[in-house]
Amino acid sequence: MFNEVTITAFREQSGPVFTEVVQHHRPQVIRRGRDDRGLLVGLDEVWAMVSDRAFSPQVMRGDEGVSIWLPEFDVYGEGETYADAKADLLGEVRVYVQEYLANADEYRRAPNRAAHFPHVVKALIAEARGQLEDTIFPAPPDLATLRARAAAA
Per-residue DSSP letters for 72-141? TTTEEEEESSHHHHHHHHHHHHHHHHHHHHHTHHHHTT-TTTGGGHHHHHHHHHHHHTT-HHHHHSPPPP
Beta pairing, strands 28-32 & 4-6: parallel
Distance CA 88, CA 65 (A): 13
> Could you give the residue range(s) of every CATH 3.30.160.620 domain in the chain?
58-134
**What pLDDT does 118 receive?**
95
**What pLDDT does 34 receive?**
86
**What pLDDT does 1 receive?**
53
Which class does domain 58-134 fall in? alpha beta
| Sign, CA torsion 29/31/35/36 | negative
83 by Cβ neighbours in 10 Å (0-12 / 13-18 / 19+) ranks as: exposed
> Could you give the residue range(s) of every CATH 3.40.1620 domain in the chain?
4-41
Distance of CA 6 to the CA centre of its chain: 28
Strand partners, 147: none
pTM strictly above 0.85: no
**What pLDDT does 137 receive?**
95
Which stretches in the chain have pLDDT values below 70? Answer: 1-2
**4-41 belongs to CATH 3.40.1620:** yes
